[in-house]
Chain A
Amino acid sequence: EVQLVESGGGLVQPGGSLRLSCAASGFTFSSYSMNWVRQAPGKGLEWVSYISSSSSSIYYADSVKGRFTISRDNAKNSLYLQMNSLRDEDTAVYYCARDRGVVVVDAFDIWGQGTMVTVSS
């Protein structure tokens, strides 16, 4: 079964750090570009970051640029998001999501179940 499972969420104080992980299974992880998408409580979806299959291309939303770092370990079938200098407005469910195509930028066909990050003092 094709699956993505996030972990690492929790409660953190403003200015703090957190590292999210996403474990992939059931497909050739190293062939696919991956993304992080977040959803604040009661709000819509916001794309956060993209990483290509080989990690050669990385992009961030302006709202997290300079604070968040995306990375992956293809040997461990894992995707990561290091979040530093966290703000109240970073509170959200964080999803990892797979690009459906292996060649070009594409829609997201597989999503994880999400992990909740709460930034609060």
Chain B
Amino acid sequence: DIQMTQSPSTLSASVGDRVTITCRASQSISSWLAWYQQKPGKTPKLLIYKASSLESGVPSRFSGSGSGTEFTLTISSLQPDDFATYYCQQYNSYSRTFGQGTKVEIK
């Protein structure tokens, strides 16, 4: 199975900061990568699909990049609503796998 590794596990940032989260795949997954946001007690929300495509309704401050084995999620200017846990997910195969998550906390 393809393993997904996110870094960092926790990130402390302030409103207005530029934030970058990295996700690495154990083998090439082309651009078959998604990013999700999950708030405590809530359902995950799709932010980015196919590595860099913004899901409808998601603010443009979110962006994704990368291909192959290395990917990033960037929040250009962190907003109060963005404090949450973020997961990457590969869908290069039917056996989808998630990263372990990155918690974005208030500094």
Contact = CB atoms under 8 A, between A and B. Distances in A.
B55 A59 contact: no
Contacts of B93: 105
Interface footprint category on A: 20 to 34
Which of under 10, 10 to 19, 20 to 34, or 35 or more describes the interface residues of B? Answer: 20 to 34
Interface of B: 1, 32, 34, 36, 38, 43-46, 49-50, 55, 87, 89, 91, 93-101
A72 B96 CA distance: 19
Contacts, number: 58
A44 B46 contact: no
Contacts of A107: 34, 46, 49-50, 89, 91
14 contacts: A45-B89, A46-B98, A47-B89, A50-B94, A59-B95, A95-B44, A100-B46, A105-B91, A105-B96, A107-B34, A108-B34, A111-B43, A112-B43, A114-B43
B96 A50 contact: yes
Given A100-B49, A107-B89, A108-B34, A44 B94 contact: no
